[in-house]
A and B are shown apart, each in its own frame.
Chain A
Amino acid sequence: MMLPTTGQALLSVEHLTKRYKGVVALDDVTFAITDGITGILGENGAGKSTVIKILLGLLQPTSGSATILGQSATDSVDVRARVGYMPEHDCLPSDVSAAEFLTHMGEVSGLPPDMARTRSADTLRHVGLFEERYRSIGGYSTGMKQRVKLCQALVHDPAFVFLDEPTAGLDPAGREEMLTLIRKTHREFGISVLFSSHLMADVERTCDRIIVLQGGHLVHTGEVADYIMETTTVFIEVDTNREELATALESRGVAVTAERGGLTVEGSDESVYDQVRDALVEAEAPLRRMAPRRRELTELFERESK
């Protein structure tokens, strides 16, 4: 199988629509994903799982097309030999060791038995479970089980991996470890990732790009950095005289809103900073912090729901 070269779309959907009886799960969705970590965001029922299932060839779209690694997702079973999938829900047998289970999954993905065994040990080593590999999975903690789930998606060295809510059910430490592993999956292993989540913070910290779905519609697609670094406001924190500062800014025609113990000023060009400086002097407000305010991904949803 010829894999797409760098810069080419690893995966793309065009005018994808999926209707169930009386319900539109996806409505004319079009996007493409290149190398990297892409987050697919959306609330429950937004259409994330439907997109993933269509891309894995498990669901037929009502209309439109889905291509993965240069092949039609709906026609080829063989393409799944180069794709990994980590489901959200339980999918591990309890009475088998992780090493044996991963070896089996490697073989099911088409690896020869000896290579599947080698890759199983190797993959477990990379996620920090090498020492525990001969223990039954049933005795593992939730975090360890999540790592085994990730391993089974990686054991056959896919070119692309789908991770469905990989941090679900993890405590903060386990969540942090999983996010680190996801970053490692792309940066060290060279495997591109489509990471589905409803946790904005996870996506913001891990992904290069985002696709946002809401009610089956594509709401936003683009680089995470572009979105969160795009600044149109300045956040100001002062030790005292916050109200006086707000009055001084308003008297200069600057739009001000009070939030999170500080003031947010509309605009990010140099003239705004000059006006803030003058207002600070007039209000005799000691400045603690002033910085362009980063947008957060949560605002995407807030913006759309308005």
Chain B
Amino acid sequence: MTGGTVFDIGYQSYAGVREGRGRGRRAVFKDGVRIALGLGRGSRAKILPWLFIALLAGIGLIFALVAGAAERLAGPEAAAGMDLPSHSDYNGIASMIMFVFAALVGPELLCRDRKDGVINLYLVRPLTGTDYVVSRWAAFLVIMTAAAWLPQIILFLGLSMGAPLPMDYLAKHWLDVPRFLAAGLAMALYAATLALLTASFTSRRAYASVFLVGVFVITAPFTIGVSSEIGGTVGQWISMFNLTNIPVHVNDVIFGDISEVTSEAEARHLPEWVRVGWFFAWVFGTGGLLWWRYRRLAP
């Protein structure tokens, strides 16, 4: 048996590289992704995000299976005549789930830092309030975008594989890929920004979540009812305040059709540029307000 001696070499100063603000931003971004997915935390923190991601992917999978089965069982011609689920339809149906996902998970990225006081430690490091909030926003945008794209990729692969001639399907429908990527990004941009803006006003995640879900749930029936009652241009503009439909209108513009969700909305009659412009006004407006809230934040 050989013996060993443990020496305490004392405190070692750090003389290595310091990567500055860029490293700080990346660290806040990485931490944001981990918070959104509940990584490095207890199992309870993982339940919500993974449940929603599984639900969204599951819907994509069911769509793919239904479309594939219809093609195989009824034949391509008969299937073409059916109203089979498409990428555009998926976004319409999944939009509400995306909003609830954003409302429940998004506030966690900002509220916990305010509630625990960790924000005070970020702001005394080589970071500005803008660095912090942009990194957090980017982290949540990545998660939301992934959650929007994953089911669409599953659906696209399912539809391709289910087609009798997959290569023909790809040749005919390859444009769906940039379309669903753009539509998914639009959905993620909108939901992530709105969720984080709401979270910036409170340190309690539950308040932000309830408020957001409430806003989505209340504005939809209210604007539908009032806009159809009034009708005309005023009704169309009132319909534009249906917050759940704002990114779905962009989805409609991208795919060049009207989805199930917006088929009854008066706003569908407005020109495409108005609907897209309205979307960007909301994203930049809420994003700007979020940035303003954190710009001069100090412990």
**A108 near B127 (CB under 8 angstroms)?**
yes
Residues of A within 8 A of B41 (CB): 95-96
Query: Considering the complex, which residues of chain A in the window 167-194 have a beta carbon less than 8 Å from any beta carbon of chain B?
Result: 188-190
A89, A93, A115: the one contacting B120 at CB < 8 Å is A89
Residues of A within 8 A of B21 (CB): 77-78, 110
Of chain B, the residue at the smallest CB distance from A107 is: B27
Of chain A, the residue at the smallest CB distance from B24 is: A108
CA of A99 to CA of B50, assembled, Å: 25
Residues of A within 8 A of B127 (CB): 77, 80, 108
Over the window 104-140 of chain A, the binary record of Cβ atoms lying under 8 Å from chain B Cβ atoms (1 yes, 0 no) is: 1101111110010001001000100000000000000
Residues of B within 8 A of A87 (CB): 117, 120-121, 124, 299
CB distance from A93 to the nearest CB of B (A): 5
15 further contact pairs, Cβ within 8 A, besides A77-B126, A112-B17, A152-B121: A58-B298, A81-B18, A85-B124, A87-B299, A92-B116, A93-B116, A95-B42, A96-B40, A100-B40, A104-B27, A107-B30, A109-B18, A109-B24, A111-B18, A122-B11
CA of A293 to CA of B28, assembled, Å: 54
25 A-B pairs within 8 Å (CB atoms) are namely A58-B124, A77-B21, A80-B124, A80-B125, A87-B121, A87-B299, A89-B117, A91-B121, A92-B116, A93-B112, A93-B116, A105-B125, A107-B27, A109-B18, A109-B24, A110-B18, A110-B126, A111-B16, A112-B16, A112-B23, A115-B16, A119-B14, A122-B12, A157-B13, A157-B14
A156 within 8 A of B: yes
A302 within 8 A of B: no
Closest 8 CB pairs of A and B: A107-B27, A157-B14, A91-B117, A85-B124, A58-B298, A110-B18, A81-B126, A189-B11
Residues of B within 8 A of A189 (CB): 11, 13
**A188 near B10 (CB under 8 angstroms)?**
yes
CA of A81 to CA of B299, assembled, Å: 17
Which of B's residues lie within 8 Å of A, judged by CB? Answer: 10-14, 16-21, 23-24, 26-28, 30-31, 40-42, 45, 112, 116-118, 120-128, 298-299
CA of A45 to CA of B115, assembled, Å: 24
- Sorting the interface of chain A by its residue count into under 10, 10 to 19, 20 to 34 or 35 or more gives 35 or more
Of chain A, the residue at the smallest CB distance from B113 is: A93
CB distance from A143 to the nearest CB of B (A): 18
CA of A59 to CA of B45, assembled, Å: 36
Query: Considering the complex, which residues of chain A in the window 18-33 have a beta carbon less than 8 Å from any beta carbon of chain B?
Result: none
A274 within 8 A of B: no
CA of A29 to CA of B200, assembled, Å: 36
Residues of A within 8 A of B120 (CB): 87, 89, 91
Query: Considering the complex, which residues of chain A in the window 32-63 have a beta carbon less than 8 Å from any beta carbon of chain B?
Result: 53, 56, 58-59
CA of A126 to CA of B13, assembled, Å: 13
CB distance from B15 to the nearest CB of A (A): 9
CB distance from B23 to the nearest CB of A (A): 5
A257 within 8 A of B: no
**B298 near A91 (CB under 8 angstroms)?**
no
Interface core residue of B42, B298, B299 (most chain A CB under 10 Å): B299
**A81 near B121 (CB under 8 angstroms)?**
no
**B117 near A90 (CB under 8 angstroms)?**
yes
**B117 near A115 (CB under 8 angstroms)?**
no
CA of A111 to CA of B19, assembled, Å: 6
A142 within 8 A of B: no
Over the window 57-82 of chain A, the binary record of Cβ atoms lying under 8 Å from chain B Cβ atoms (1 yes, 0 no) is: 01100000000000000000111110
Of chain B, the residue at the smallest CB distance from A126 is: B11
Residues of B within 8 A of A95 (CB): 41-42, 45
Of chain B, the residue at the smallest CB distance from A149 is: B121
CB distance from A106 to the nearest CB of B (A): 9
Of chain A, the residue at the smallest CB distance from B129 is: A58
Residues of B within 8 A of A85 (CB): 121, 124
A94 within 8 A of B: yes
Residues of B within 8 A of A81 (CB): 18, 20, 125-126
Residues of A within 8 A of B298 (CB): 53, 58-59
Residues of B within 8 A of A89 (CB): 117, 120
B13, B14, B121, B122: the one contacting A111 at CB < 8 Å is B14
CB distance from A59 to the nearest CB of B (A): 7
CB distance from B10 to the nearest CB of A (A): 7
